[in-house]
Structure 1
Amino acid sequence: MYIYAEYLLIENIVINYIILYVTKRFTRTDTSRLRLILAATLGALYAFVVFFPSLRFLAKFIVKVAVSILIIIVAFSPSKLYKFIKLFATFYIVTFVFGGAVFAFFYFFNVDAFMGGGIFYIRDLPTLVKLLIIGIFASSILLKFTWGYIQNIISKERVFIPITINLNNKKAKIMALMDTGNSLKDPISDIPVIVVEFCAIKDLLPDNVQRIFDQYKENNLEIISNVMSKSTEEVKFRLIPFKSLGLENGMLLGFKPDTVVLNEEDERVLSNIVVGIYNNTLSPDNKYMALLHPEILK
């Protein structure tokens, strides 16, 4: 079977670009389309090593890893080691899932293709397009349902993160847990919600609001109506519906702080965030007093 170099190059660029784009979306990393194209082209050019016997030494495992590292650097230019590790791990996870899906459909539909010497080549362009679309669809579904678990593994060293909530020149320093199960968002603005124990942010709130929460230990309609009536320009409260924390259907009271600072190695300041007040205990061993929405860590 003849292999047309231009077809092989285009196939590899397209596939590499898709993998890098999915990696970008899942890690929520800012980068340009040009960088993704350049990185995809770099990976595609590396595939031609198998055609040159004198360069076969470049097909060794250590060189493949080095090229993968270079692709990540070109595509995303990560500034911190943990960001690089997250991108690198995600890149390979997406590659394996996407490649597995495409190969599965390749065998299922008995596609006429060439495979050997490190090359997988489909000459028929319409067939390639169909396989790519099916592979993207199948792998996206699989990644969607497993991403929470994968992200937990990738970000294991960042499970506990100290944060500082700032409101009206007051600060509350809290240990927070990155919770992939926290999908709460403000229903009006669609802003991610950090769930925080009332006792951890008590001093940020007006005295009359503190007294209401101190008096009632459960979130109920009386608390909600009383606190909402105390809403002022100083602190504007909002209602956040939820289906967790021991209740099938409930309401959290929340407010928008001035900023929330993630006290990591590369300290980040968040201004577009909502704090949901939970008038109970989140951690049985008191290791943390807040649950972070996973979107703010990406």
Structure 2
Amino acid sequence: MRGVIYVDILFFVNALIGYFLLRGAALLAGRIAADWRIFLGAAAAGLSSLLLLLPPLPQWLMWGAKIGSAVLIVFASFPVHNVRGFLKCCFWYVFLNIALSGAVFAATYYGAAQNVSTNNLSVYFNVSPLLLIGCIAGVYLAVQLCAWAFGRPQQVRTIPFTARFEDGCVQGLALVDTGFSVRDPITGTPAFLLSFPAVRGALPPGLLRALALYFDDGAMETGGMPLRLIPTKTAAGTRALPAVRVRELVLEADGAPRRYTGVCAVFTPEPLADGGFCAIVPAEGGVCGA
């Protein structure tokens, strides 16, 4: 005997589940997401539950719909900076969904689950709201306990930036690093780090030629772009890296552009992390203290 499913309850209950699962996924993936994006993802999770009400679909279409809905939910909830970070969020969201399913199955194992409905790879248990809320709370509490016991993943904060040179500019995302502090040892000029492979296509021709000559041959161009060498501590150790003074650095922090002059751009020949950003800027008090 099939039970009666109320669409409004189905939507709101699954939206509530999605909200807490997305919060847990953000914590495990070390991501920062705006509240409005999490609410948007939760609404998408509520809508995805309506797959249960569709006519039976072919197997390949059912799997495509389930995978596609999960990807869309994560895409709506988190800003996408790179494929690796996006897939990490997808993994933790799916993992927590599986964990919640296991918790509900475990909670109903010793009792009779009434009015079970299955369709299109979706299973609907007519369980009491208190049981469902308890399962959600249990999974979320387990995530919080893991974060407390083993430490929270480092949350990566990136902001848009624009570095303007005399005859061109570079734009992209910059990592805000509280441990980054580099200055010209002679003039005391504050600096930020740029990945040469990531930004070379946007560099002015003269600067591109001078940096390519230095990184390829270890030679400084005479009579060309006025580069300076600044000792910089990176993952590869402390070494002298080429730098040039920028005309202006603009950081889009907290929705308000902050402009800095008299700042040096230091170039490194390696990509930064997983390619999700192409620059590293110091937190408040570094560049901002210039």
Q: What is the TM-score when the length of structure 1 is the normalising length?
A: 0.50
Partner of 1:174: 234
2:152 paired with 1:119: no
Partner of 1:226: none
User: Amino acid of the residue matched to residue 131 of structure 2?
Assistant: T
Offset of residue 18 of structure 1: 0.8
Check conservation: 1:102, 1:135, Cα contact below 8 A: no
Distance 2:265 2:99 in 1: 38
Matches within 5 A, 1:201-216: 201=238
Distance 2:104 2:85 in 1: 28
Which one of the candidate residues 263, 272, 288 is aligned to 1:263? 272
Distance 1:270 1:103 in 2: 48
Taking a change above 3 Å as real, the CA distance of residues 148 and 106 of structure 1, as seen in their structure-2 partners, is farther
Offset of residue 51 of structure 1: 1.6
Distance 2:102 2:144 in 1: 12
Pick the structure with more strand per residue. 2
User: Amino acid of the residue matched to residue 32 of structure 2?
Assistant: D
- What is the RMSD computed on CA atoms of the aligned residues? 3.9
User: Amino acid of the residue matched to residue 69 of structure 2?
Assistant: V
Distance 1:114 1:147 in 2: 41
User: Amino acid of the residue matched to residue 31 of structure 1?
Assistant: A
Check conservation: 1:8, 1:121, Cα contact below 8 A: no
Partner of 1:222: none
* Structure 2, gaps ≥5 residues long: 154-178, 190-229, 241-263, 285-290
2:141 paired with 1:137: yes
Distance 2:109 2:5 in 1: 20
SS of the residue aligned with 2:39? Answer: helix
* Structure 1, gaps ≥5 residues long: 150-162, 177-199, 204-257, 274-298
2:12 paired with 1:3: no
Partner of 2:66: 64
**Residues paired across the two proteins, number:** 184
Distance 2:44 2:20 in 1: 14
Deviations 1:27-69 (A, max 9, x none): 2323222222222222222221222216667861122112211
Pick the structure with more helix per residue. 1
Distance 2:58 2:147 in 1: 34
Check conservation: 1:9, 1:45, Cα contact below 8 A: yes
Matches within 5 A, 1:180-259: 200-201=237-238
Taking a change above 3 Å as real, the CA distance of residues 39 and 46 of structure 1, as seen in their structure-2 partners, is same
Check conservation: 1:98, 1:136, Cα contact below 8 A: no
Offset of residue 143 of structure 1: 6.9
User: Amino acid of the residue matched to residue 77 of structure 1?
Assistant: P
Give identity over the alignment, percent: 16
Taking a change above 3 Å as real, the CA distance of residues 270 and 106 of structure 1, as seen in their structure-2 partners, is farther
Q: What is the TM-score when the length of structure 2 is the normalising length?
A: 0.51
Check conservation: 1:49, 1:58, Cα contact below 8 A: no
